[in-house]
């Protein structure tokens, strides 16, 4: 099986030993995105809704680099440091999936990188 690394400057550079995304076996596996501004390298410390919006923009940048759209996403995992934030995150997230929503898991965690409130990873089907 051959794999292809996906990388774009329009999404945050990895802050560890991982790729933004990897294509393999007919899928693209996108590493968890946090609200890190790719232009400034700064964390968005605003509301969880604002953080989620930046996360979704970062995911979109990786998808676009691979020639994909939100419609290609088949599975997402959302990590939250506070499950009370679920409604706000869900509202922002839901705007990207008006028709056929992907399968999804939402997990409460004790902490996330750089103290953010939300991280989202996705798996997309290649065209």
**SS3 at position 101:** coil
pLDDT of the residue at 6: 98
Query: Where are the domains positioned within the chain?
Result: 3-125
Residue 122, H or E segment:
strand 118-125
CATH assignment of 3-125? 3.30.1330.40
Phi, psi of 31 (to 5 degrees): -60, 155
- Decide if 107 contacts 78 (C-beta within 8 A): yes
Res. 1: pLDDT tops 80: no
pTM of the model: 0.96
The conformation of residue 36, written as its DSSP 8-state character, comes to B
pLDDT of the residue at 79: 98
Q: Summarize pLDDT for 44-91 with one digit per residue, the tens.
A: 999 999 999 999 999 999 999 999 999 999 999 999 999 999 999 999
C-alpha to C-alpha distance for 38 and 73, rounded to whole angstroms: 22
Q: Summarize pLDDT for 81-122 with one digit per residue, the tens.
A: 999 999 999 999 999 998 899 999 999 999 999 999 999 999
> What are the residues whose beta carbons fall under 8 Å from the beta carbon of 24, sequence distance 6 or more?
1, 2, 3, 4
């Amino acid at each position: 099986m051959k794999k292809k690394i996906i990388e774009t400057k329009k999404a945050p550079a990895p802050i560890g030993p991982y790729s933004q995304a990897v294509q393999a076996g007919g899928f693209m596996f996108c590493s968890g995105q946090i609200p890190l501004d790719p232009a400034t390298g700064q964390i968005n410390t605003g509301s969880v809704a604002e953080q989620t919006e930046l996360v979704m923009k970062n995911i979109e940048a990786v998808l676009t680099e691979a020639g994909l759209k939100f419609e290609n996403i088949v599975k997402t995992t959302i990590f939250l440091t506070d499950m009370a934030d679920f409604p706000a995150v869900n509202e922002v997230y839901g705007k990207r999936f008006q028709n056929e929503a992907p399968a999804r898991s939402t997990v409460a965690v004790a902490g996330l990188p750089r103290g953010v409130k939300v991280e989202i990873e996705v798996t997309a089907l290649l065209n």
